[in-house]
Chain A
Amino acid sequence: MAHKVIFQPSGSRGDIESGKTILEASRELGVGIESICGGKGTCGKCRVVVQEGFFEKFGIHSKMENLSPLTEAEKGKLKTGEIREGYRLACQTSIKGDVLLFVPEESRSGGQIVRKAAGEVKVDIEPAVAKYYVELEKATLEDPTADFERLKAGLEKSHGLKDLAIDFMTLRTLPDVLREGDWKVTVSVWMDREIIRVEPGVKDTLAGLAIDVGTTTVVGYLTDLRTGEVLAIDSMMNPQVMYGEDVMARITYAMSHDDGLRKMNEAIIKGLNKIIENTAKKAGLTAGDILEIVLVGNTAMHHIFLGINPEPVGLSPFPPSISGSIDVKARDLGLRAAPGANVHVLPIEAGFVGADNMGVVLAVEPYKSDETLLIIDIGTNGEIVLGNRERLLSTSCATGPAFEGAQIKYGMRAAPGAIERIRIDPKTKEVRFKVIGREEWSDELEESPGAKGICGSGIIEAIAEMFKAGVIRKNGTFNPELETKRLRKDENGQYEFVIAWKDETSIGKDITVTLSDVRAMQLAKGALYTGCKILMKRMGIEEVDRVILAGAFGSYIDREASMVIGMFPDCDLDKVVAIGNAAGDGARIALLNKDIRREANEVAKRIKYIELTVDPDFQTEFMRAMHFPHMKDRFPHVEHILEGIPVEAAQKR
């Protein structure tokens, strides 16, 4: 039996099978509802409000009785007042009758700011595809040589190309194209061995697409393969987000649903086709002009994109199904670029250190460096590479989604309205902040800054500022002796600190940082620091020459703030550099130079993967790294800041 379900404010509606959850219904109807925990009822982000009554416009009688009863998870996540107002968690509530549901602004997904601009890349331009113009003699009775053999002979004669093959789909169009161009054609040859496109006349456009499939964001860089210039960028939220916010949730979705892998694969292919279309259009080209694609992504994204079961990647010892690079026809994957176009997928280093990290390595080139580099790619997982031309180590640490604003009470993605910068006066403990989408700080505005939540880089600043001002102590607890009304206890008796008062927000309530938020950050930053520390120990070094923060997130966090809370080991702040979306840059490098692809395979084999959890010191290191900035290790480069922290707060337990 099916019931009518309507979502507001979008007005999306449809018939939904009885027993499906509201979250499932929202997916079927294309309504974006935040679900960070993947529908387990633990994140409490998928709040919807049930609108009771008869709605004539839709002809339905919407009532609470038409939904399954409140679950324990909902009772834990919703306040009594909210329950009275009709709030439910979409993932916990199944549909038994007609309902009209309102999705509050804080529960809506989408509208994210994509911070993945293209960085400068330095590379010799040697693309995998080259174009050759050739003029052939028409077929005659005296010389009735077949079209393909005629083309081959022509290419050998004028360009020295030998033993060429032809892509089958390209062959199908060959006779028409040759005649249309009056035997004057431009031929695209892949790796000097396969003809992948033949166009009539002189066509010198040579474009390729570099794609970075992130767990949250997917970006495509349409690139001129002659000049290296980025012609167009397009990005979107990874359409798989609806099946689970993080890598593990996606793998679990594939494990627990028979068609889970297929659905997620179709979602990403569909999304990529949109990117292909959009970038081509922006650059004044057609999808068929894209002759080569290079793709990077973490190991799970890599597998799902290729339609390979990611289940083993989710279980220790996390073996990927293939580690070397892959070349496959775009059309075999369902990608609508040029019919003969090739997709090159960069190699996976090990387990969770995927092709995206390989992209980072190609962009940073630690394997050519005399200095010892500590490269940290911060996302839902933290991937770390340490080393130099002599030796390279890598690891992956489970930082959890806290850095991306998830698991944080008022956490949100980097979207307009998100608090991204925070300053706390050490004396008065007064707060000023800046939201994304506004130039001015909160105290410079006449009107309300309209904050909606705090994004990942904002959380780091909040924690660092709270620590510096003595609001929280080394061990993460709040200093209860503070005399400010910003410090208070929430409805659960847990301490929280008000960042934005109700009249400064657009969500009708104060935005706070709670003790649980601080704890989540302690776990996240502790995991990251532990990863760095154990790699350094294995390498036998006490300090590194340079810290490189890769990932869009790394570009937006304050370097000083992140060192003050001890996200990574001490280093001269001038030697801490953020390089933006290096994974995407690496994809562009491999797109522009085919020889680097071979280099990538060799380097991937040389990087030794270290499993943190089996290191005998893991537990001790992790424990010590959870304090701000650390229980034992010193931070000479921010010592002056640490010394300035109000003593009464810092030293008390």
Chain B
Amino acid sequence: MSEEEILEGLKKSVIDFDEDAVKEYAQRAIDEGVDPQKAIFDGLAAGMEVVGDLFQKGEYFVPEVLMCADALYAGLDILKPHVKVDEKTRVKGQVVIGTVEGDVHDIGKNIVKLMFDIAGFTVHDLGKDVPLDRFVEEQLKTDSDIVALSAMMTTTMTGMKKVIEKIREKNPKVKIMIGGAPVTEETAKAYGADATAKDATNALSEAIKMVSSLREMQK
């Protein structure tokens, strides 16, 4: 099987959320000496980009994207250990991500995290219901470039404003993204965030798009 066929197979299997097929192609990539980094980016991640398009077009919805993500992670588990160490450490950026205090919804956040993961960012996932100060501490500790905050309820969304103020106070240069069902462009502006996802129901498509453009930058 040619490298091209393997990459195409990985891509297609992610789109078809066929976990078993992804695993097979990933193993084949290793067996046939395909550069694992390439298999991740031009196979798995390329598939996820198509998933992003399908989501935006309305063909896919949350369940399909989650299943694609599962398929992608199954491939990642096989490929990642084979990525050479120097490439692994060649980080393009660091992100602190988490769902803010008082909020336990993390499906959207996990998918955004996945996008950062496959784009080659080092992701510091603080999980859900994260005390506001933890974001500030983690950003300082890791010197991350981006802080991504998620909230699914209007009541917890207000906490984002406080985090943004605190982070800006300590480090005015850091980029801050916010997302989640109640967040709008206006909220982002009002809270002083640098970016948000446009889609109000879930922050998926914008995150996927953003990561696609990051992938462009990397090329």
Residues of chain A touching chain B, judged by Cβ–Cβ distance below 8 Å, are 38, 40-42, 71-73, 248-249, 251-252, 255-256, 311, 314-316, 475-477, 494-495, 515, 519-520, 522-523, 611, 613-614, 619, 622-624, 626-627, 631
Closest Cβ of chain A to B212, distance in Å, is 20
Between A and B, 11 residue pairs with Cβ closer than 8 Å are A40-B182, A40-B186, A248-B155, A314-B155, A315-B102, A475-B61, A475-B64, A613-B105, A619-B110, A622-B107, A626-B61
Q: Contact at B186–A623, with CB atoms within 8 Å?
A: no
A41-B184, A71-B186 given; A623·B63 CB < 8 A: yes
Q: Contact at B63–A495, with CB atoms within 8 Å?
A: no
Chain A positions within 8 Å of B104 at CB level? 316, 611, 613-614
Q: Contact at A624–B154, with CB atoms within 8 Å?
A: no
A494-B58, A626-B61 given; A523·B158 CB < 8 A: no
Closest Cβ of chain A to B170, distance in Å, is 24
Chain A positions within 8 Å of B103 at CB level? 315-316
Q: Contact at A623–B62, with CB atoms within 8 Å?
A: yes
Per the 8 Å Cβ criterion, residues 102-118 of B in contact with A are 102-107, 110
| Cross-chain contact of A72 among B66, B106, B153, B186 (Cβ < 8 A) | B186
A72-B186, A619-B107 given; A477·B59 CB < 8 A: yes
| Most chain A CB atoms below 10 A, which of B58, B128, B157 | B58
Closest to B189 in A: A72
Q: Bound complex: CA of A40 vs CA of B63, how far in Å? A: 27
Chain B positions within 8 Å of A611 at CB level? 104
Q: Bound complex: CA of A316 vs CA of B104, how far in Å? A: 7
Q: Contact at B66–A623, with CB atoms within 8 Å?
A: yes
| Cross-chain contact of A248 among B58, B106, B107, B154 (Cβ < 8 A) | B154
Closest Cβ of chain A to B188, distance in Å, is 10
Given contacts A475-B64, A613-B128, 4 further A-B contacts (CB under 8 A): A40-B182, A40-B184, A248-B154, A316-B129
Report if B101 contacts A (CB, 8 A).
yes
Q: Is the interface of A mostly helix, strand, loop or mixed?
A: helix
Chain B positions within 8 Å of A38 at CB level? 154
Closest Cβ of chain B to A227, distance in Å, is 44
| Most chain A CB atoms below 10 A, which of B64, B153, B154, B155 | B155
Q: Contact at B201–A251, with CB atoms within 8 Å?
A: no
Report if B37 contacts A (CB, 8 A).
no
Report if B200 contacts A (CB, 8 A).
yes
Q: Contact at A519–B61, with CB atoms within 8 Å?
A: yes
Q: Bound complex: CA of A252 vs CA of B157, how far in Å? A: 9
Chain A positions within 8 Å of B184 at CB level? 40-42, 73
Q: Contact at A256–B61, with CB atoms within 8 Å?
A: no
Q: Contact at B62–A626, with CB atoms within 8 Å?
A: yes
Closest Cβ of chain B to A616, distance in Å, is 13
Q: What 5 pairs between A and B have smallest CB-CB spacing? A: A315-B102, A314-B155, A613-B104, A252-B154, A623-B63
Q: Bound complex: CA of A315 vs CA of B103, how far in Å? A: 6
A40-B184, A613-B104 given; A623·B155 CB < 8 A: no
Q: Contact at B62–A523, with CB atoms within 8 Å?
A: yes
Chain A positions within 8 Å of B102 at CB level? 314-316
| Cross-chain contact of A626 among B63, B182, B185 (Cβ < 8 A) | B63
Q: Bound complex: CA of A71 vs CA of B186, how far in Å? A: 9
Report if B144 contacts A (CB, 8 A).
no
Q: Contact at A248–B153, with CB atoms within 8 Å?
A: yes
Q: Bound complex: CA of A40 vs CA of B189, how far in Å? A: 13
Chain A positions within 8 Å of B156 at CB level? 314-316
Q: Contact at B63–A631, with CB atoms within 8 Å?
A: yes
Chain A positions within 8 Å of B101 at CB level? 315-316
| Most chain A CB atoms below 10 A, which of B63, B66, B187, B200 | B63
Closest Cβ of chain A to B183, distance in Å, is 9
Closest to A407 in B: B201
Chain A positions within 8 Å of B200 at CB level? 42
Q: Contact at A255–B61, with CB atoms within 8 Å?
A: no
Chain A positions within 8 Å of B50 at CB level? none
Q: Contact at A495–B155, with CB atoms within 8 Å?
A: no
Q: Bound complex: CA of A311 vs CA of B185, how far in Å? A: 25
Chain B positions within 8 Å of A624 at CB level? 63
Chain A positions within 8 Å of B129 at CB level? 316
Q: Bound complex: CA of A476 vs CA of B66, how far in Å? A: 15
Report if B214 contacts A (CB, 8 A).
no
Q: Contact at B62–A252, with CB atoms within 8 Å?
A: no
| Cross-chain contact of A252 among B106, B158, B185 (Cβ < 8 A) | B158
Report if B67 contacts A (CB, 8 A).
yes
Q: Bound complex: CA of A619 vs CA of B106, how far in Å? A: 9
Closest Cβ of chain B to A617, distance in Å, is 13
Q: Contact at B66–A477, with CB atoms within 8 Å?
A: no
Q: Bound complex: CA of A624 vs CA of B70, how far in Å? A: 13
A251-B155, A523-B201 given; A619·B66 CB < 8 A: yes
| Cross-chain contact of B58 among A42, A477, A627 (Cβ < 8 A) | A477
Closest Cβ of chain A to B55, distance in Å, is 11
Chain A positions within 8 Å of B186 at CB level? 40-41, 71-73
Closest Cβ of chain A to B137, distance in Å, is 20
Q: Bound complex: CA of A515 vs CA of B187, how far in Å? A: 26
Chain A positions within 8 Å of B58 at CB level? 477, 494-495, 515, 519
Closest Cβ of chain A to B68, distance in Å, is 11
Q: Contact at A255–B158, with CB atoms within 8 Å?
A: yes
Q: Bound complex: CA of A627 vs CA of B186, how far in Å? A: 32
| Most chain B CB atoms below 10 A, which of A251, A252, A314, A315 | A315
Closest Cβ of chain A to B133, distance in Å, is 16
A314-B102, A315-B101, A316-B129 given; A252·B63 CB < 8 A: no
